[in-house]
Structure 1
Amino acid sequence: MTANVGTTDRVIRAVLGLVLLVLPFVNVWSGFENVYLTYSSVIVGIVLLATAIAGTCPLYSVLGLSTNGRT
């Protein structure tokens, strides 16, 4: 896969991913009724971090988008 995520996009994804991973551990969404929100936050956080580290986004590839200036 070719890199289709630019530097600014990668930084934003990494920061947002880390925030979403930390929120459940600081009990922002506590209680059984918010268990889906907690799991969703962790999953989205992992995906954002993975795409930031890899430098490629599968959704961008499908849509033909790129924030990388070197394409």
Structure 2
Amino acid sequence: MKLNVGGIDRVLRILAGLALLAWALMGGPVWAWIGVVPLATGLVGFCPAYPLLGINTCPMNKAEK
């Protein structure tokens, strides 16, 4: 599993995930728990959808291509 989520992408995913989870915890809609997904992919640095879509925002792996 190679990293495929780069710097700004990771920060935005983490922030969006935290915001959605905070909203869910404060009584928001049930679907706000989906914030777990961007938070996890931001923390881990790998998004399983990116290889399927041919996307890679990680600068370290772009040099390998």
- Per the normalisation by structure 2, the TM-score is 0.84
State the distance in 2 between where 1:39 and 1:61 align: 29
User: How many residue pairs were aligned?
Assistant: 61
- Per the normalisation by structure 1, the TM-score is 0.78
Look up the match of 1:10: 10
The sequence identity of aligned pairs, in percent, is 39
Gaps of 5+ in 1: 30-37
Highest Rg: 1 or 2?
1
Gaps of 5+ in 2: none
CA RMSD of aligned residues (A): 1.1
Runs of 4+ aligned residues of structure 1 deviating over 6 Å after TM superposition are none
State the distance in 2 between where 1:41 and 1:24 align: 5
